[in-house]
Structure formats: C-alpha cells, structure tokens
Amino acid sequence: MREIIFDTETTGLDSRTDRIIEIGGIELFNHFPTGRTFHMYVNPAGQKVHPDALAVHGITDEFLKDKPPFSEVAEPMLEFFGDAKWIAHNANFDMGFINAELARLNRPPILPDMVIDTLSLARRKNPMGPNSLDALCRRYGIDNTHRTKHGALLDSELLAEVYIEMIGGRQTALGLSADSGRARGSDRQSENEDTVIAVLSRPSPLPNRISDAEREAHRALLTQLGENSIWRKYGSVQQP
C-alpha cells in the first residue's frame, strides 16, 4: 500500500486568492518511508506573501521570484503522488489549496476518498488534545527541536513519524526496521517473499512473585470462605 505524507506552505489562509509556495511529500510503502521524496518551491504568480504567513514559514517574495509557477509543478507532483493516498495534517486546508491550483489549470480535483486527515485521526485518538503537530511529536517522543520554522518537507517528515505511531504501523509490522521497509518500497518483487520471524525462548523462568506468606494467607482466606465458595474450586495458589 502506497501513501504520501505531504504538506504545503502558502502566501496566506484563503485558497480563493492566496497561492501555494511550497509543497513537500514523503512516500510510504506499507507504512514505511521508502526514501523517495518530492519537494518544490512555487512562484505564486504575483501574489505577495502575507506578513503573518511569513512569520510562520519564513519564505520571502524575493526568494520565490525565480521559482517555477504551479503550472510547471503540477505534472511532476501528480506523477509522484500517482494513485497513493494523500495524507496531511488538517488536510482540508492543504487540499483546498491543491484543488484550487488544479482548478486554475482546468484539471480535475483530488477526491475526498483519496485523502486522509491526520488531525481528525489524532482527535479521535486524543479527544482532549492538544493535537498540533508539535504536540503530537511531544506525545510520541519524536524529536522536533530542529523545527524553528514551518517547512513543507520537514513537516512532512515529522508527520510521517507521527502517522506511523498513531496507526501502530511499527507494531503491526512486527518490529521490522525502516531499512527493510525501504527495500520493499524500492523492490516490489519482495512483497511476496516470506518473512522469517525468530521467536526466542526465555533462558530461565521468571521468579515466582508470590511469597510463601502470601500463599499461606490465601489458603487461610479460602478456608474462611467455606465449602460453597467458588474459589474453593480452584484450590490454593499453585506454583507457576
């Protein structure tokens, strides 16, 4: 199963007038990063970066002057995403901008059934919140200390780690390493190969946690309960 964790940065908050200026994506295959990424800065076609947005991502109008317009970014972006699920944090925001940009090019929109919103997923799992990306990184022990500004690719990398933790991906994969996940992502033939999992035996049994005094106290309690007690059917505490 192929998924793309992605994020966008924009000139502002209104998809009707503001424009995408950065998009980044991380490819997952069976919930493991494959190492393939997509990252482009986009010229916003004359739309100025709002000061509030600049304070968040730090991308200036001057920096964007020589970047390609979305019309040149759309095709490689869509090729990278292919038939994968589009996964974003607060996906309604990002998809609003993606589909607005596609509409300007007379391209069909990305349909809702192709999109997963990790914010909605986080709210279901953690209804008391907070559920911002920074808060989720703290909750799942993911280091985000290098994140001083928002950035599409950096935020996608962090969200990929958060998403894998939220869906239990590492546990369902039986602890396989990320490197083996990347290998499966780059070599599809290995999908049908059997995985050998070694089950180790404990070299010696764990010590009994019930002391002799506790065992005797339990036997005394059974005696006090009388012959009709259901606990009498189980007898006294046995050795493990």
Q: Residue 182 above 60 pLDDT?
A: no
Least confident among 43-57, 141-155, 166-180, 224-238: 166-180
Q: Residue 118 above 80 pLDDT?
A: yes
Q: Residue 131 above 70 pLDDT?
A: yes
Mean per-residue pLDDT of the chain: 83
Give the domain ranges of the chain. Answer: 2-192, 206-240
Q: Residue 2 above 80 pLDDT?
A: yes
pLDDT at residue 189, as a whole number: 43
- Catalytic site residues? 150
Q: 177: closest CA among 45, 32, 12?
A: 32
Q: Residue 188 — pLDDT band, cuts 50, 70, 90? A: very low
Q: Residue 181 — pLDDT band, cuts 50, 70, 90? A: very low
Q: Residue 145 — pLDDT band, cuts 50, 70, 90? A: confident
Q: Residue 10 — pLDDT band, cuts 50, 70, 90? A: very high
Q: Residue 41 — pLDDT band, cuts 50, 70, 90? A: very high
Mean pLDDT, rounded, for 200-216: 70
Q: Residue 34 above 80 pLDDT?
A: yes
Please state which of the four CATH numbers 3.30.420.10, 3.90.850.10, 3.20.20.70, 3.30.70.100 is assigned to the domain occupying 2-192. 3.30.420.10
pLDDT at residue 215, as a whole number: 78
pLDDT at residue 235, as a whole number: 54
Q: Residue 67 above 90 pLDDT?
A: yes
